[in-house]
Chain A
Amino acid sequence: MKATHLGQYLGALGLMLLLSSPVTLFITSGSLLAAGVKAGLGLVLVGVFLATNLTSFRQFATSQASVALLRSGLVVLAVLCGLVALNYVAATKGARWDLTQGRIHSLSPQTVTALESLPEKVVAIGFLPPTHEANALLESLFQRYHEQVPERFEYQLLDPNNNPELAARFNLRAGQASVVLVRGEGPNASHTTAASVSEQDLTNALIRLTSVGTQRVYFITGHGEWPLEKDQANPSDPGATLSELRRQLLHEGYAADAMYLVGTTDIPRDASLVIIAGARVPYTQPEVEVLRKYLAGGGRMLYFADVGLEDGLGPLLAEYGIQLDEGIAADSQFNSGNPYVLVSKFYSNHAIVQPLLQRNLNVQLPMARSLGLLREGLAPGVRVEPMVHTSQNGWVETTPTQNAVPSDGEKAGQLTLAAAITRDTSDTPDKRFGEARLVVLGDADLLLDSNWGHEANRNLVMNALGWASHQVARITVRPPDREVSTLELDLSAVKRMRFIATDLFPLTLMGLGIAIWLARRHK
């Protein structure tokens, strides 16, 4: 074999070794030594090629073709550099448009608020094996969070198998996919984990991490209120519990517990808020006194009424400017096909409903009670602000029938469905807070699991919680979900579709091809 030919073979081998050395370094072994040896050997072999083919090179270098090749190479290199620069600019500064319905791939206002109120830098660590299906989703989520506040949100994606010391520090189980958010550095660093890879859970974890302490919410029970747990539900109506609300509260950093008032003299001092949801048995006088004392001392409460229920709290509510109308609130125009299922976009400028107003979200309240706003007999320092109304076509139906219309003597016009009340308690001795806050909604059904999926209602309730407990970052609009769409295909329809799609459709195309081929052959 001639030396020039041998040199060409060795040169090809050398080029291969040289070009594959970055793969060795970054992908296969990760060893700098192995990559260096490969690159060095490759260079030597390419050198052998150059040495053994020197004559050919001299001939080529003096030919016209070599000039053209050089010119071509320079053009290609210049264009390549230009394209790299263009891509760099596009990758760092390029715009992004979410064209989906409801902008479901954009950060929700809740996330933006939470990110912008971050007091210090937070590092998010995604512990996911590289092959995990949620990897791309998490990376894209992290990227958007980082773009919103680049100086206060940083992220890393780590393989838990390659970082056992970090996994041990955060108590992660082997192979577990987790997101850990770390705030601060050194011994003062605190961390929390997200329940799953979703914007909702990541943002909730962020809020939890940045909240000072845990907000404790007590649900008053013992008067037929809706139960908090699924296993306490009535077997005939398993969806009639508040378990989804409780789950959301836990995700957003609240602790939620049930509480009996009977036999107590005071609401626990650690209560950030108490909730009364759909009580159907009247409260005893001592219980009412406990609540009165609690509110007078700067307590916070959410009260949800329901049609036809009498809970004995009317006098207490009246002190805070609210009287529940007897009957069902109805609207002849703004409803979902039934005048008793109200659809409202009539909001005031109160902070609780501002985000709903901005996003043009309609609340939907089935079988609600309207509220009368009182001006006299109020406790000192009380200020009432209505939040949600019916349209001007509303009325209170006192004798409900299927096709109801307003009758004489029934309250008519724009009805109030929800109100926020404050009371200055700064002068009260042994006060909890300097201002009592109470939110009254004329519908408790919207809290039930079966209704919890309604985006606007969910936001109304959670914003009320946020406002009453003074958590400004929580008054916002949470991430929307895609609208549920369904496909109704029975077995025979699936079979028919399978036949058309996998049999008829490809065969038609093939038949067309054969026909054209035969036609051309016979020409």
Chain B
Amino acid sequence: MRTALAIARKELSIYFTTPWAYGVFTAMAALSSFLFVNLLVEFQLRQAEARASSWEQMSPNLHAYRNLTDGVVVPLWGIVIAITLFVAPFLSMRLFAEEKRNKTFELLMTAPVRSIELVLGKYLGGLGIISATLGTTLIFPLVLSFHGHAESGTALDWTTVLLGFGGVLLWGATCMAVGLFISALTESQMLAAFLTFAVLLPWMMLTGVAQSAEEPLRSVLLHLSFDAQLHEMTRGVLEVKALVFFASVIAFSLLLTHRTVEARRWA
């Protein structure tokens, strides 16, 4: 494990000393900030409508705007999840592909490092960078907690907010695991990024497919859908099935990565 942590440290230092990671941070911050402000404007608009009539007169679909957590933070996490789908492949693409392109992968293979340590080290490094990227979005609930008001004193339901952020982190961790596996398959970073995106995007869109399918396929597709699994967690409901699902995808991706790295030894 010590070797894995050393590899993770090295990976993180590479990320944080290259402008590439900051470019990704900037993209994440700019996009999420823009959409966050739009959510605020929409929230204020709906609250003004409710003040003019009453919440009971408004459509139940708009009742989420009663509260800052449901009206702003929950949709914000949905947006961050969507942005992560684009950002994570650019962070994961270099993990193995760069080593292969620079021909340092063979050096790693001959070093006294076990494949499992190598895979875990690379993954922990990737996990660190995606957590830092997603961590920048925590600034938004903090801003809301300063400006929001509620009768009970606290404008945000922090349990829901933090559970939603946990869901976002879980999603980021899953993206990095899938990206790590695909990065181990090729030496082209762009190809790795593109393939990661090409795998995650349809996987994310399985909910739409499930809705037009009949049972029992529908239930299976919904269980496999990232979107459906994250839905409850971002709303403040913790489900064992979602945790097991994400842990399974991460574990299986790491296993495939490990077998791919091992294959280089006996290829």
Contacts and interface: CB of A to CB of B under 8 A. Distances in A.
A-B interaction: yes
A25 to B, nearest CB: 10
Contact of B237 (A27, A91, A98, A484): A98
Nearest to A73: B259
Interface in A482-496: 482-489, 493-494
A487 B47 CA distance: 9
Contacts of A101: 157, 159-160
A116 B258 CA distance: 51
A157 interface: yes
A100 B263 CA distance: 47
Given A65-B266, A505-B33, A105 B236 contact: yes
Interface stretch (A79-87, A182-190, A394-402, A428-436): A79-87
Interface residues of A, number: 70
Contacts of A68: 262-263, 266
Interface stretch (A130-138, A166-174, A292-300): A130-138
B211 interface: yes
A234 interface: no
Nearest to A201: B60
A226 B101 CA distance: 80
Contacts of B110: none
Interface in A1-46: 26-27
A201 B238 CA distance: 25
Interface string A145-159: 000000000000101
Interface string B9-33: 0000000111101110111011001
A157 B221 CA distance: 15
Contacts of B241: 87, 90-91, 94
Contacts of B18: 516-517, 520
A513 interface: yes
B22 A502 contact: no
A513 B23 contact: yes
A95 interface: yes
A96 B167 CA distance: 15
Nearest to A65: B266
Nearest to A66: B266
A177 to B, nearest CB: 10
Nearest to A135: B211
A27 B160 contact: no
A159 B210 CA distance: 12
Contact of A449 (B26, B54, B136): B54
A520 B213 CA distance: 54
B231 A76 contact: no
Interface SS, A side: helix
B147 A487 contact: yes
A262 interface: no
A487 B157 contact: no
A512 interface: yes
B68 A27 contact: no
B251 interface: yes
Contact of B34 (A76, A94, A502): A502
Contact of B155 (A27, A87, A485, A516): A485
A484 B148 contact: no
A497 interface: yes
A498 interface: yes
B211 A484 contact: no
A94 B244 contact: yes
Contacts of A136: 207, 228, 231
B149 to A, nearest CB: 5
Interface in A350-396: none
A512 B17 CA distance: 10
A69 interface: yes
A487 B56 contact: no
A136 B21 CA distance: 35
Interface in B226-267: 228, 231-232, 235-241, 243-245, 248, 251-252, 255-256, 259, 262-263, 266-267
Contacts of B149: 485-488
A519 to B, nearest CB: 9
B251 A83 contact: yes
Nearest to B67: A482
A258 interface: no
A484 B19 contact: no
Nearest to A79: B255
Contacts of B160: 99-101
A407 interface: no
B56 A244 contact: yes
Interface in A220-262: 244, 247
Contacts of B67: 482-485
Contacts of B150: 483-486
Given A69-B263, A94-B244, A99-B237, A130 B211 contact: yes
Contact of B37 (A198, A247, A498, A507): A498
Interface string A494-523: 100110011001110110111011001000
A241 to B, nearest CB: 12
Given A100-B157, A101-B157, A136-B207, A247 B19 contact: no
Interface stretch (B38-46, B86-94, B193-201): B38-46
16 contacts: A65-B266, A72-B262, A90-B245, A96-B232, A99-B236, A100-B235, A131-B211, A484-B66, A486-B155, A487-B155, A497-B37, A497-B40, A502-B34, A513-B22, A516-B22, A520-B18
